[in-house]
Structure 1
Amino acid sequence: MIDNDSTIAQGAISPATTFEVHRGRGRFNAAFFAVLGPYIEWNVRRHKRRVFAELPRTVVEIGSGVGANLRHLQPGSTLVAIEPNVPMHQRLRAAAERHGVRLDLRERVAEHTGLPDRSVECVISSLVLCTVADPAAVLAEVRRILAPGGTFRFVEHVAARAGTPTRILQRVLRRPWAWTFEGCSCERDLAAVLHAAGFARLEIEPYRLHSPFIGFNTHIAGVAHA
């Protein structure tokens, strides 16, 4: 399992990253999610409480952002945060301190966590697979690091059904949405990607938010078992 006292020493291992931080958008997104985080959490809280229930004492999170999911960890737990977006780091550290969670922050992309094979009991993500360059590669990495019987717990927004007004609007918004939110796609069929990832068992619940952010309204939440 992960050595909770281990870190990736500066310069010892070069972080594998293809994530390029845009100076303006990086700061904007850090501020945006700090301010809008409570509103987003209010919308998805029921689903997060279900899939993030009874998390173990050490959790790996891909795309920790400014720390929206720290509230679901027990005080004294360890969060191994895979977060390449440096403008998020200051707020993430402050949030971990507020929640009493030990933070092991790693500036790497989710496709290359640098963690050992079968070393992780639990991986979580929320609103991340929409943004990564290759969600299938990320899920392959999650499977690689999960120990037998481990779980990947997720809350993600996805493409609406083809031909619906929401899907048409998602298509119209796709370029400005992706530019503003650093590559985030509102048109990914992540349920299909999860089904194709090869997990031993997969539980997915689709649902819809009632929110003015129309491109963001169609969601899935669930648990994938290694």
Structure 2
Amino acid sequence: MTSSEVHRAAIDGFDPHPLRGRFNSAFFAAMGGYIDLHLRKRKRAVFAGLPQTVVELGSGVGANVRYLPTRARLIAIEPNPFMHARLRRAAARQGLDLEIRDVVAERIDLPDASTDAVICSLVLCTVGDPDAVLAEVRRVLRPGGRFSFAEHVVAREHTPTRWVQRALRRPWAWVFEGCSCERDLASAIESAGFASVNTQQYRIHSPFLPFNPHIAGTAIR
């Protein structure tokens, strides 16, 4: 990571924090296998049959490279420069053609109707404006293109998980760079203007209680 990468990320709307940025890069590298153990079944379903070129929002340290086709081209929208080195290594191990774009997902620097597939996982919880991100996803997808996602979401009201999410709101967001456990992302995706949306809600069982309610699915442009 260079000072110019940090400066560029700040200009584009993401202000990389040197402590949190490094912590999150190391955390997700260390915990990637554990997290994938819980999400693997759903990811395999929603990421199946991806084309050779895929745009991914918030590629992080490369948690989803294992789900891409052999020798695929990955256009990674990843504004956090502290993730880039690990992402490059993960993509190289999978034999992927990686292109990193260090812009925020609210302003994807790709032309209209330029891709057949956009994917993301554990990303819409962190973006500043999920509705703007979903509008950008629709903009860059070709008609009939797919948006496949796996996200953690707000728990049902009047449940212990919902109480914990509310209680830990501020420290959780600080540690995980703005991550919110209180977003109804299923409704946001349903109302984003896609031609069709197929979403499944499920729950994982991990010690990270605010993280346990999830959705996974695919929306068609």
Name the TM tier (shorter chain): over 0.9
- What's the secondary structure of 2:144's corresponding residue? strand
Aligned-pair identity (%): 61
The partner residue of 2:49 within 51, 54, 67 is: 54
Greater helix share, structure number: 2
- What's the secondary structure of 1:198's corresponding residue? coil
CA deviation digits over 1:67-97, x for unaligned, max 9?
0000001221100000000000000000000
Structure 1 consecutive aligned stretches of length 4 or more whose deviation exceeds 2 Å: none
The partner residue of 2:61 within 66, 82, 87 is: 66
- What's the secondary structure of 2:16's corresponding residue? coil
Between the aligned partners of 2:158 and 2:139, the Cα distance in structure 1 is: 36
Q: CA deviation at 1:107?
A: 0.5
Q: CA deviation at 1:144?
A: 0.4
Unaligned stretches of 5+ residues in structure 2? none
Aligned to 1:110: 105
Aligned to 2:210: 215
CA deviation digits over 1:112-159, x for unaligned, max 9?
111000011000000000000000000000000000000000000000
Aligned to 1:3: none
Aligned to 1:158: 153
Kindly indicate whether residue 199 of structure 2 is the aligned counterpart of residue 204 of structure 1: yes
Matched pairs, number: 215
State the superposition RMSD in angstroms: 1.3
Unaligned stretches of 5+ residues in structure 1? 1-9
The partner residue of 2:83 within 88, 94, 98 is: 88
Aligned to 2:177: 182
Structure 1 window deviating more from structure 2 (144-153 vs 15-24): it is 15-24
- Provide TM-score, normalisation by structure 2: 0.95
CA deviation digits over 1:177-217, x for unaligned, max 9?
00000000000000111111010000000000011000000
